Amino acid sequence: MDLGISGKTAVVTGAGRGIGLAITQALAAEGVRVVGASRTITPELEKAAAATVAVDLSTRDGAAAVVEQAIAAVGGIDFLVNNVGGCDPDKLSLGGFLDSGDEQWQAVFELNLFSAVWTTRAALPSILERKGAIVNISSVSARVPAGSPVGYAEAKAALTQLSKRLSEELAPRGVRVNTVSPGVVASSLWTDPNGIGGKLAAASGLSHEDLLAKLPALCGTSSGRLTEPEEVADLVAFLLSERAANIHGADHVIDGGALKTA
């Protein structure tokens, strides 16, 4: 299937690994010149991206710098994928509401919501000029918050609502905005023993390997497995393409059937 996006440009945040890297690779394979933004520039990202920006996207200045450098590198922005998110395991409490202080709320919202607000605000003039598209990577936690760290589901719910607001405002001006909401993805966030998966395993009294083996069942996935980053990336590439020209303001769940509501 020809997606019709060869020669376009894109900014992908959180592109160094996991879903963001898979999105960068998928878009590059379709002929898109991708500017990959990440706190750490990995060799894999260097290979796939037309340009890279090492940046902390949890700050307003960092988001503005990404867009400025992207426009300088590729001449303008057709597509924006606000993928950066999650949380720093070392700064994260796995306790309840009363165990989680203001620092956690602020850090989680800055990375999972405000990074998208700031990056979109900076990139939007170029995207409007080119009548491009935006995809925000949210989470099924936005719909089913039980079990996620305090603040994470709330920030993702706000991100999903931001996508809907932007779509309502921008669709008449030729810009499409959609959301992709994965369940648990077999990315380094979970597979790295130093990531959230390792921290949850330790808190549960399980080995990291045992937790990964049990995750599909614990999440209630109908498919019996976790989603692969490449599967999320393929969905994002489709939503950015001309093949999805009349898809506006939709939240696309990709979770192996874990979400049981209609």
State the Cα–Cα distance between residues 162 and 154, nearest whole angstrom.
12
The answer to whether 212 and 169 have CB atoms below 8 angstroms apart is: no
CA atoms within 13 A on the CB side of 25: 17
What is the rounded CA–CA span in Å between residue 98 and residue 18? 31
Instruction: Assess whether 152 carries a catalytic annotation.
Output: yes
> What is the DSSP pairing of strand 51-54 with strand 79-82?
unpaired
Q: Which of 109, 152, 170, 189 is flagged as catalytic?
A: 152
Beta strands across the sheet bearing 133-137: 51-54, 33-38, 9-13, 79-82, 133-137, 176-182, 251-254
By the 8 A CB rule, do 163 and 177 touch? Answer: yes
Helix (H, G, I), strand (E, B) or coil at 15: coil
At residue 111, what is the residue type? L
CA 208 centroid distance within chain: 24
Residues annotated catalytic, as ranges: 152
